[in-house]
Structure 1
Amino acid sequence: MAAVSRPCEGRKHRSTAAEYGCDFSGETADPETDALGASDVHFVRPVHTVTLLLGDKVIPATILGIQSDRVIRGHRFMGEPEFTIDNADQYPEILRERGKVIADYEERKAKIKADAEEAARKIGGNADLSESLLEEVASLVEWPVVLTAKFEEKFLAVPAEALALAGWIAEQIGADVNHATRAGLLSKCDLMTNMVFEFTDTQGVMGMHYARHDGEAEDVAVALNEQYQPRFAGDDLPSNPVACALAIADKMDTLAGIFGIGQHPKGDKDPFALRRAALGVLRIIVEKNLNLDLQTLTEEAVRLYGDKLTNANVVDDVIDFMLGRFRAWYQDEGYTVDTIQAVLARRPTRPADFDARMKAVSHFRTLDAAAALAAANKRVSNILAKSDEVLSDRVNASTLKEPEEIKLAMQVVVLRDKLEPYFTEGRYQDALVELAELREPVDAFFDKVMVMVDDKELRINRLTMLEKLRELFLRVADISLLQ
């Protein structure tokens, strides 16, 4: 508000008042408000009436195309829509009584403060009102009324899903469960601060500083800063186990929740950045070599939502989505599409295990026997797919006739027993190197032995042997998909 004191020669009061009425409207222009009608005058609200009185006399004037009068409009909902004033001295009182509008700003401000303090006193509390809040509210309302409301205390807490999931993950990876749960509790507190509200890039960073200031454990403070990592391709990963647990929990909670209500990404649209979240989870697990399974991880994230989710296939949908992120990631890392497809065909849900298989198959491709064994696996796969025979659980050694099938059957049995610890320990590269030794007996078998013979017992036995051979390779990947 601006006020000007300007001495001038004496005039008749009716003329002076009218002039200053016009001048007042024009000189209070605000460039952030709209012009009124066809005039250049700006005002914060549309002007409907001009009440211009000196004592009990109406001062004739036309302002913004509106003729002055003694008519006043009250509060749109609580007061009388329109009434008249007999004397200028009545203005504050009649506007309050009939219009339900308190004209005086300071009076409104004082009423809000007094009523809020009284409402707080009645429920045994205190009204913590800042001066800036009082000024803002007093400027917004014409007829202030203080109301007392409440909400369930549970809404003050971080969702139980995020807390429980962080603790569960911490237990799986050997991190401090109490610290991970504490980090989950504090994870979004800094979002409510003025600092993060004004400078959104400081989220997490401010959480760390506040936690240190309050004496929280250092790994908790660091976790608050690193919970959003990795934010983009090539970004740093969380540096300690508690931070890893929190970062994975935050991302998996988002994936489970959004997929659980059917809002998965479509086409190029990904408004909730779920692709980034999924890739972040995979990178943390793989590069930190964490013993986590996407199946159990997703099931736990979904379970914590209870009956809130509507998508019955949410677990499979999330896992399929994350495996799809593996495809994009490894392509960016330079792996061939057929190598990725060979591993994806086995649908391994442990990210660290998936990575070990990828490296094993990539190395297998460099071996001399790779192309021949890939072709042989493809041939075996086709033969088995075309057969509708019910196969045996094991190869019957007494039924074997040809030297080539006897030799191959023996090597399959030997390698099956030898490689079992390799598969259990995830030594897939060593396993495929051993399996590469099957090239010669496999080639000899297909050169000398007919599989689909008329003798049913012999045919089923040979098909069973081929199935056992294929099962060995499938313990790592579907080698038949390699080009």
Structure 2
Amino acid sequence: MPDASNLLVELFTEELPPKALPLLGRAFAECLAAALRAQGLAAADSIVTPYASPRRLAAHITGVCPKAADKAVAQKLMPASVGLDARGAPTPALLKKLGALGLDAAAVPRLRREGEGKAETLFIDTVAAGSTLAAGLQTALNEALAKLPIPKVMAYQLLDGWSTVKFVRPAHGLVALHGANVVPVEALGLQSGRSTHGHRFEALIDPIVLPNADSYATTLREQGAVIASFEERRAEIERQLQAAAQQAGADLRPIDDAALLDEVTALVERPNVLLCQFDRAFLDVPQECLILTMKANQKYFPLLDAAGKLTNQFLVVSNIRPADPSAVIEGNERVVRPRLADAQFFFNQDRKRTLESRVPGLGKVVYHARLGSQGERVQRVRAIARSIAMHIVLPPDPEFVDRAALLAKADLLTDMVGEFPELQGIMGRYYALHDGANPLVAEAIEDHYKPRFAGDVLPRSDVGFAVALADKAETLVGLFGVGEKPSGDKDPFALRRHALGVIRMLMDRGDGIELTIFLSEASEAFAQVPSFSDPGAALQEFIFDRFANLLREQGWVAQEVDAVLALKPQILAQVPRRLTAVRAFSALPEAEALAAANKRVSNILKKSEGVKDGSGLVDGKLLVEPAEIALVQALTAINPQTEAAYTQGDYTVALKLLAGLKAPIDAFFDTVMVNANDPGLRANRLALLARLQAAMNRVADLSRLAA
């Protein structure tokens, strides 16, 4: 673009919410760029660089023009019959329309006609002046601020004492530079300029005057002691964390937590990582408690050894770089001490009572208004877990399963979990071991929440598997049964996550568990709940819908997924093998024709009143055409082989055997009239097609593969 220069826009604010900062920074820059492109002020290949620090949102956009190119515009006026009289002279209506466009009767000869007869319409070709950068940037800025994904809006007064504006945090400065020139725009009661501010305490000068758009990041770093780029600041913190960990010990590493790293990046402008430590006596407390305390409350990075065990050292990301950091180090060590002491106190107090002694107290904790207390929930989970255990190929000790289910929720009443809900299950394992519980039971208490999120590990033992599956089944069946279904993007009880957890566990260890029976037995646990209604079919549909999404995310083709799940396979652990078989079948030369034939069979049976489930008998005496006789013979020949392959779970072989049916199927449809006039022949041929469909669709609905 001619005369294009780079643009810099910065909004200087009070401290922005750290967890929202990365998204706010990207959204501000991307929305500005999109609005400028839409107005023809920025090129399609303009490079957009977002900046986001605790006190600023900014965007640098390359290739921005001072004025957009003029555009030819075809202006539709009115029907010709309305705009022109019988002599072709302009009517008052046309003159009025032209006047509104800044034109007069002199423009009539330039009018253009399109269409014929009554549809003939008058147009005039004009040139629309391109937007200036000042006007276009004002529009873009207004749009960007309106679209920002602000978690919570603040209302505050401007300096005049009367005007009130709303934004995520009070704004105190606006910079808009096109090259070296200030673009006159306004936002949130602020006029644009070229001055900004650096670090609160360590900036060399204040305010900082920016000479041009391209000097923004460098000037802020050198004069303002601020790394404006979120990504650069994050990378610098990560580099310093690794270096400090190596300095503390060759085998030490900071805890890997991307969310914590993002949050700390959003809290500092000039990161400075310092090594601190705490009293080794605190290491007697479970490390999960100490780690969570340091991360959640103080935003510290605990140091772990090569085995993943917590050490008594931790890293602090400071926002200042004093010549002598000892005061900062001592201050952080002093602040963390009472936090760790609280965790130690909770841990010691909790162990004075057994987990089992807390179980009766769950009866006083409300779970759901229509589903009763946590105590009632525990009894349902116990019943479901015992049922699940019987279906596992090598059933675990039922006493262990029942014991783990009984104690699984007891740690909800401990002081530690009351302070840190994220530790539920984890603390249950520690307290169960302290009480002398079997390690499998203690492990299952922790694992019954797994998988907690996408990609999380599954329960380690069959005891944990039974209790975890029972817990998620109780949640899904119970909440669906009282009408608490997800709606749109609203899922307050995380039922989609619970469904994915059930799917993953059944795929991993559910060879002996049929989904319908599993859900039915879970529903029986709610027999005493007055407002409960068995959600059977609706819940199963919900689970298969989530299953389809999961499989597509794993790389399976939508057609393959639809073909397999159309049959609602009850043992989910078999689905990957079915999908593999369908993919192998699709590669066969005969696959396309067989899928099309299957679809044709399906359509014929849908429209008929004949046998549709494959159970109807084919009467050999009514087979009169050679092609139908050959098809029956082919089906009879491959049936023992496909049955054996299917029974053994070798679905790939079962589908490949169908290739031998292509020729007799083609011959059948070429020469046999299915809807014969003779009712007996018609019924017999429909029964044959139903038998063919049943034979072809045992692994998947192959008609879904047809184009």
Identity %: 43
Matched, 1:478 2:478: no
Rate the CA distance shift 1:363–1:273 in 2: closer, same or farther, 3 A. same
Deviations 1:293-345 (A, max 9, x none): 12111112111111315353412222121111111111111122222222222
TM-score for both structures, normalised by structure 2: 0.45
Letter in 1 for 2:380: E
Once the two structures are TM-superposed, the CA of residue 154 in structure 1 deviates from its matched residue by: 8.7
Equivalent runs, 1:41-52 vs 2, <5 Å: none
Rate the CA distance shift 1:169–1:389 in 2: closer, same or farther, 3 A. closer
Match of 2:630 among 399, 402, 407: 407
Matched, 1:167 2:375: no
Tell me the distance in 2 between the aligned counterparts of 1:243 and 1:463: 50
- Bigger CA drift: 450-459 or 403-412? 450-459
Matched, 1:457 2:665: no
Equivalent runs, 1:72-471 vs 2, <5 Å: 155=363, 157=375, 159-173=378-392, 174-308=395-529, 310-389=531-610, 393-471=616-694
Tell me the distance in 2 between the aligned counterparts of 1:381 and 1:320: 22
Are the aligned partners of 2:411 and 2:427 in contact in 1 as well (CA < 8 Å)?
A: yes
Once the two structures are TM-superposed, the CA of residue 357 in structure 1 deviates from its matched residue by: 2.6
Letter in 2 for 1:447: D
Once the two structures are TM-superposed, the CA of residue 378 in structure 1 deviates from its matched residue by: 0.8
Where structure 1 has 5 or more consecutive residues not aligned to the other structure, the ranges are 1-151
Deviations 1:4-34 (A, max 9, x none): xxxxxxxxxxxxxxxxxxxxxxxxxxxxxxx
Deviations 1:385-429 (A, max 9, x none): 222346892222233233322211111122233323333343322
- Bigger CA drift: 439-448 or 355-364? 355-364
| Residue of structure 1 in register with 2:35 after alignment | none
Are the aligned partners of 2:610 and 2:687 in contact in 1 as well (CA < 8 Å)?
A: no
Rate the CA distance shift 1:313–1:200 in 2: closer, same or farther, 3 A. closer
Tell me the distance in 2 between the aligned counterparts of 1:251 and 1:312: 18
Deviations 1:256-313 (A, max 9, x none): 1111110111111110011111110110111224311121111121111113153534
Are the aligned partners of 2:595 and 2:702 in contact in 1 as well (CA < 8 Å)?
A: yes
Once the two structures are TM-superposed, the CA of residue 373 in structure 1 deviates from its matched residue by: 0.5
Tell me the distance in 2 between the aligned counterparts of 1:453 and 1:466: 14
Rate the CA distance shift 1:171–1:385 in 2: closer, same or farther, 3 A. closer
Are the aligned partners of 1:162 and 1:250 in contact in 2 as well (CA < 8 Å)?
A: yes
Higher RCO, 1 vs 2 (CA within 8 Å, ≥6 residues apart): 1
Once the two structures are TM-superposed, the CA of residue 239 in structure 1 deviates from its matched residue by: 1.1
Who wins on radius of gyration, i.e. which is larger? 1
Are the aligned partners of 2:641 and 2:654 in contact in 1 as well (CA < 8 Å)?
A: no
**Structure holding more strand per residue:** 2
Root-mean-square deviation (CA), in Å? 2.2
Are the aligned partners of 1:400 and 1:406 in contact in 2 as well (CA < 8 Å)?
A: yes
Displaced runs of 4 or more, over 4 A: 389-392
**Structure holding more helix per residue:** 1
Tell me the distance in 2 between the aligned counterparts of 1:307 and 1:409: 53
Where structure 2 has 5 or more consecutive residues not aligned to the other structure, the ranges are 1-359, 365-374
Rate the CA distance shift 1:200–1:445 in 2: closer, same or farther, 3 A. same
Deviations 1:206-252 (A, max 9, x none): 11111111111111111111111111222111111001001101100
The DSSP-based 3-state class of the residue aligned with 1:440 is helix
Letter in 1 for 2:678: D
